[in-house]
Chains A and B, each alone.
Chain A
């Protein structure tokens, strides 16, 4: 879409004057008229949903910061008593913010899986994909630091465990963790700096989102067929076709969000976090938030500390490398039956890792069966061994299966244009808006 020509015509004297000085109206108009493939399905609405989520987190977060006390002695009370009980609608704003993080990650995972399924990371969209990965890592850092702020037991021990990851590095490990903590353990100075960064990072995310959208607008959207846009008839203007479609998706998303906030606001909260942080007692079973569980399982699956930390980092690293691991020219997995199966198995094992991360390492997988003889610290029927198998597949999918398959797979014939499958599917596709818009405009 790089050849997208501006169609904006300033109509009044003021807009003509402004257009030659700061063409901001033109910029907005060009975004709205951006030619977008006409066959985008609902999996493509998560970009809009994610922008909405970022907005919700920033607005509710700024409000919460007005009532929050970022000190080791005051933080817990300012949240549990101040915000949750005394501040007008504090419970609602915190409910939106805390559950908003879960909704944000739900959306980002579906957005990433969409990109993987339709091959949206392939040339010429590698930079777009990399920026998305950067946003994802920034989101995890922000969410982690936000989780520390209520200063409950899970907050404290989550912070202790994650910051201790940096202690795995030889020689620099010790000084590095002291630098992160500002002391000899997680304490008030740690909380203060996490609050500062938690406030900063969302704006960094917003800046990278701007780059992400820019990188999207150079090649234009991919689409479910993965076939390049070939003519103007393959596209529709972004507004109103996709603004309205995105808005509808956001409304459905908001219904789910509201159900959680109003009916099960504690669904994602660990009970232990309603106990104030105590540096002398670790809760019996500490687990991170659900969206970090697969990585936590990978960390625990590996019996060596440094290797475990590298495994955790590598699990993210392979996402960054995906555009160069998958060299097959066919983008969409609609036309890659074998890749599709391996991809769904990968999703399955990622979910298995998530489950493993929520369980105790010595727990049994198949109830009723013995754990079995100990091999590398645990029996075969233990959660740890299931994590090890799932971790192996997680990495094999990226480092072995994808590179080999992308060279050897016999792909199905790809349609000549993204329009062809739409026409052949007829009524089965949700193309009401796409029926004949160009004849009306």
Chain B
């Protein structure tokens, strides 16, 4: 290619010019590629969550509003979150299944905070395609997803259907017995 470029130039000296032409050609091309890449990144990165979206870091929630055996769905960082006040029956059932065959094995103890076993706090997005499962929808006493039929147990572990993972845990801390800080 360098040859043809050299030939194109009027009066180009074939014995010397190809090397210099070649260098200029490659250098210009390299700068062009680097420039395109440098411009492309901001054009892609602008799609990522903006600073104001990222700023929605943590919220506090008063657990006394959630009666035993009920749950609330609240938004944390615009994502739905389940806070379920589990009955002793549900806890016993979750523990009994700790070693049952599962897609994403986990013990019930690993999914709650020690001393607060009655509170199950998980992201409410089905790990299949993000729908919010409904409680008492499946044969494991927990949730069932209305979209594609994934079934979760009373520890929100995936037991049946296409979802690959248990409902996700996320960072939260108990400030006292009735107050929890999400995030």
Whole-angstrom distance between the alpha carbons of A325 and B9 in the complex? Answer: 49
- Asked if B74 is an interface residue, CB under 8 A from chain A, the answer is yes
Nearest-Cβ distance from residue A64 to partner chain B, whole angstroms = 25
Whole-angstrom distance between the alpha carbons of A286 and B145 in the complex? Answer: 10
Residue of B nearest to A177 (CB): B130
Give the contacts of A251-286 with B (CB-CB under 8 A).
Answer: 279-286
Please give, as numbers and ranges, the residues of chain A lying within 8 Å of B128 by CB-CB distance: 164, 305
Give the contacts of A167-190 with B (CB-CB under 8 A).
Answer: 167, 178-185, 187, 189
Whole-angstrom distance between the alpha carbons of A246 and B140 in the complex? Answer: 58
B148–A189 contact, CB under 8 A?
no
B146–A165 contact, CB under 8 A?
no
- Asked if B88 is an interface residue, CB under 8 A from chain A, the answer is no
A281–B73 contact, CB under 8 A?
yes
Please give, as numbers and ranges, the residues of chain A lying within 8 Å of B47 by CB-CB distance: 179-180, 182, 193
B132–A282 contact, CB under 8 A?
yes
- Asked if A80 is an interface residue, CB under 8 A from chain B, the answer is no
Whole-angstrom distance between the alpha carbons of A181 and B49 in the complex? Answer: 8
B129–A182 contact, CB under 8 A?
no
Nearest-Cβ distance from residue B44 to partner chain A, whole angstroms = 8
Instruction: Contacts A183-B53, A184-B49, A377-B160 given; indicate if A164 touches B129 (C-beta within 8 A).
Output: yes
Give the contacts of B74-91 with A (CB-CB under 8 A).
Answer: 74-75, 77-80
B162–A178 contact, CB under 8 A?
no
A282–B146 contact, CB under 8 A?
yes
Instruction: Contacts A179-B47, A182-B49, A185-B78 given; indicate if A280 touches B132 (C-beta within 8 A).
Output: yes
**A165-B129, A184-B79 known, 11 other contacts, Cβ within 8 Å:** A164-B129, A179-B44, A182-B47, A183-B53, A189-B50, A282-B146, A282-B147, A285-B146, A300-B148, A305-B163, A305-B164
Per-residue A-contact encoding for B156-183, CB less than 8 Å = 1, 0 else: 0000111110000000000000000000
- Asked if B141 is an interface residue, CB under 8 A from chain A, the answer is no
Question: Of A181, A193, A279, A360, which one neighbours B75 at CB under 8 angstroms?
Answer: A279
B162–A303 contact, CB under 8 A?
yes
Nearest-Cβ distance from residue B120 to partner chain A, whole angstroms = 17
Residue of A nearest to B82 (CB): A280
Please give, as numbers and ranges, the residues of chain B lying within 8 Å of A205 by CB-CB distance: none
Whole-angstrom distance between the alpha carbons of A189 and B134 in the complex? Answer: 27
A179–B48 contact, CB under 8 A?
yes
Please give, as numbers and ranges, the residues of chain B lying within 8 Å of A279 by CB-CB distance: 75, 78-80
22 CB < 8 A contacts A-B: A161-B129, A163-B130, A164-B128, A164-B130, A182-B50, A183-B53, A183-B77, A184-B49, A184-B53, A279-B75, A280-B74, A280-B124, A282-B133, A282-B134, A282-B146, A284-B134, A300-B148, A300-B162, A305-B163, A306-B164, A361-B149, A362-B149
Nearest-Cβ distance from residue B52 to partner chain A, whole angstroms = 10
- Asked if B125 is an interface residue, CB under 8 A from chain A, the answer is yes
Please give, as numbers and ranges, the residues of chain B lying within 8 Å of A193 by CB-CB distance: 47
Please give, as numbers and ranges, the residues of chain A lying within 8 Å of B74 by CB-CB distance: 280
Please give, as numbers and ranges, the residues of chain A lying within 8 Å of B125 by CB-CB distance: 185
Using a CB–CB cutoff of 8 Å, the interface residues on chain B facing chain A are 44, 47-50, 53, 73-75, 77-80, 124-125, 128-134, 145-149, 160-164
Whole-angstrom distance between the alpha carbons of A377 and B128 in the complex? Answer: 15
A305–B162 contact, CB under 8 A?
yes
- Asked if A160 is an interface residue, CB under 8 A from chain B, the answer is yes
Please give, as numbers and ranges, the residues of chain B lying within 8 Å of A283 by CB-CB distance: 146
Residue of A nearest to B163 (CB): A305
Please give, as numbers and ranges, the residues of chain B lying within 8 Å of A303 by CB-CB distance: 161-162
Nearest-Cβ distance from residue B163 to partner chain A, whole angstroms = 7
Please give, as numbers and ranges, the residues of chain B lying within 8 Å of A182 by CB-CB distance: 47-50, 53
Instruction: Contacts A280-B73, A280-B74 given; indicate if A160 touches B49 (C-beta within 8 A).
Output: no
Instruction: Contacts A180-B47, A182-B48 given; indicate if A280 touches B75 (C-beta within 8 A).
Output: yes
A189–B53 contact, CB under 8 A?
yes
Whole-angstrom distance between the alpha carbons of A95 and B132 in the complex? Answer: 31
Per-residue B-contact encoding for A322-360, CB less than 8 Å = 1, 0 else: 000000000000000000000000000000000000001
Please give, as numbers and ranges, the residues of chain A lying within 8 Å of B161 by CB-CB distance: 303, 377
- Asked if A135 is an interface residue, CB under 8 A from chain B, the answer is no
Nearest-Cβ distance from residue B43 to partner chain A, whole angstroms = 12
- Asked if A221 is an interface residue, CB under 8 A from chain B, the answer is no
Whole-angstrom distance between the alpha carbons of A360 and B161 in the complex? Answer: 13
Instruction: Contacts A279-B80, A286-B147 given; indicate if A160 touches B130 (C-beta within 8 A).
Output: yes
Please give, as numbers and ranges, the residues of chain B lying within 8 Å of A161 by CB-CB distance: 129-131, 147
A360–B129 contact, CB under 8 A?
no
- Asked if A384 is an interface residue, CB under 8 A from chain B, the answer is yes
Please give, as numbers and ranges, the residues of chain A lying within 8 Å of B80 by CB-CB distance: 185, 279-280
Nearest-Cβ distance from residue A253 to partner chain B, whole angstroms = 34
| Highest count of chain A CB atoms <10 Å: which of B130, B133, B146, B164 | B130
